[in-house]
Amino acid sequence: MVNYLSKKTLNSEYEHIKIKTFNLKPFKRTINLNHDLNSKYTNWARKQYRKFNNDQEFIKFLENYFGQNFSYKIKNLNLNKEKPLDSFFFDIKKGSCTHFAVAMANALRANDIPANIVTGYLGGQWNIYGNYYTITSENAHAWVEAKVNGEWIYIDPTLKIENIESDAESVAFRNLSNSKASFFKEVAAYLDNINTLISFKILNYGYQNRSINITNKALIEIILFIATPGVIFLLLIFIFNKSSLFTSSKLQRVENNWRKYLNQKGFSLSDHNSLEIFPYENKHFSKNQITFIRKINNIFLQLRYGKNKGNKNLFIGLKQKINEYKRKF
């Protein structure tokens, strides 16, 4: 169970993660497991191995061979169930990280190179708010470790695959470095950090130190973490509401009220019709009234469609014109 994560950037793609865990247990590697020594793939691997001077050259050849001749695909492989490895390598030439890891390990074992298949996770999304990685099932991965020149080394044949099928575009090994997150991903990361903070500070309370001070401190951290962006958000709403960015919504309200006023005074105007086609002929209105209404309607049209669209001063002038008309007439 991970209880602490910190990040130290090494370069643009890889991060070094320091992890503390509970209940550490010794790990014992196996040397070689039994496999089909007479399979078509085993014979091919042995034949290829004789072309190279050492194990490292053979491993590099295998990695490049997978990358140049195979595709990454997860679903609907339709492998031969009787001989799945031969079917994968010679016929289908498509597979997931597990298939490539199995093929690599078998090729090495066929030539008496100790090799194991390792399963775990690769990649993940770095949470900038909580300084931890979010790992999902999409980050599940399989690779190989092999004993070369007396040392166990990491081998990942999947990383060489360039042709990715459509059903595997989101796999972890294609997203080792975090791309620029969208707004919604940023929000999701923030909410995830709140959830993680609550889990570690509250739900895990009692596993280490039953101190009321620790709990109070955790609660304060959570409250501040939730309240701070809320206050900032409300402040931004207030600022935007006072700016010209919201003039269009205010303009709509003023126009609606103006339309209602004109309808009450005898003009027939549908809410769906533009003020540009306003019926200025009306026996109940004087020529001066019609001229004044025309000026007001033109200001509405300028604010909505013209060069002065969203102009704050013009919007203020519009409201003054409307009030002036109501006073005069």
Tell whether 16 and 100 lie within a shared domain.
Answer: yes
Tell whether 67 and 93 lie within a shared domain.
Answer: yes
Tell whether 31 and 168 lie within a shared domain.
Answer: yes
Given the DSSP bridges, would you call strands 71-72 and 163-164 parallel, antiparallel or unpaired?
A: parallel
pLDDT for the residue 179: 45
Q: Note the residue count of the chain.
A: 329
pLDDT for the residue 258: 87
Please give the tally of structural domains in the chain. Answer: 3
Confidence of residue 121 (pLDDT cuts 50, 70, 90): confident
Q: Residue 288 is part of which domain span?
A: 245-328
- 12 vs 52: which has the higher pLDDT: 52
Confidence of residue 167 (pLDDT cuts 50, 70, 90): low
Query: Is residue 115 predicted with pLDDT exceeding 90?
Result: yes
Tell whether 199 and 102 lie within a shared domain.
Answer: no
pLDDT for the residue 178: 45
Confidence of residue 218 (pLDDT cuts 50, 70, 90): low
Dist. CA 89–CA 41, nearest whole Å: 7
Last residue of a domain, one of 208, 225, 242: 242
Last residue of a domain, one of 219, 242, 265: 242
Confidence of residue 52 (pLDDT cuts 50, 70, 90): very high
Dist. CA 306–CA 304, nearest whole Å: 6
pLDDT for the residue 248: 52
Question: What percent of the chain is modeled with pLDDT above 90?
Answer: 27
Joined tokens for residue 113: 């190179």
